[in-house]
Chains A and B, each alone.
Chain A
Amino acid sequence: DTAVSQTPKYLVTQMGNDKSIKCEQNLGHDTMYWYKQDSKKFLKIMFSYNNKELIINETVPNRFSPKSPDKAHLNLHINSLELGDSAVYFCASSLIGEEQFFGPGTRLTVL
Chain B
Amino acid sequence: AQKITQTQPGMFVQEKEAVTLDCTYDTSDPSYGLFWYKQPSSGEMIFLIYQGSYDQQNATEGRYSLNFQKARKSANLVISASQLGDSAMYFCAMRGPMDTGRRALTFGSGTRLQVQP
Q: Which A residues are closer than 8 A to B by beta carbons?
A: 31, 33, 35, 40-45, 48, 53, 55, 57, 88, 90, 92, 94, 96-102, 104-105, 107
Contact = CB atoms under 8 A, between A and B. Distances in A.
Contacts of B104: 33, 45, 48, 55, 57
A99 B50 contact: yes
Interface of B: 33, 35, 37, 39, 43-45, 47, 50, 52, 89, 91, 93, 95, 98, 101-107, 109-110
Nearest to B35: A99
A99 B104 CA distance: 10
Given A33-B104, A53-B101, A43 B43 contact: no
Residue of A53, A55, A57, A97 most packed against chain B (CB within 10 A): A97
Contact of A102 (B45, B95, B110): B45
The secondary-structure label for the interface of chain B is strand
Given A88-B43, A90-B45, A94-B103, A43 B35 contact: no
Given A97-B33, A97-B98, A45 B106 contact: yes
Nearest to A96: B98
A9 to B, nearest CB: 9
B110 A41 contact: yes
Nearest to A48: B104
Residue of B35, B44, B105 most packed against chain A (CB within 10 A): B105
Contacts, number: 57
Contacts of A40: 109
B109 A42 contact: yes
A-B CB proximity, top 8 nearest: A102-B45, A45-B104, A97-B98, A43-B107, A48-B104, A99-B47, A55-B101, A53-B101
Contacts of B47: 99-102
Contacts of B39: 41
A50 to B, nearest CB: 9
Contacts of B98: 96-97
Contacts of B110: 41-42
Contacts of A102: 37, 44-45, 47
A100 B105 contact: yes
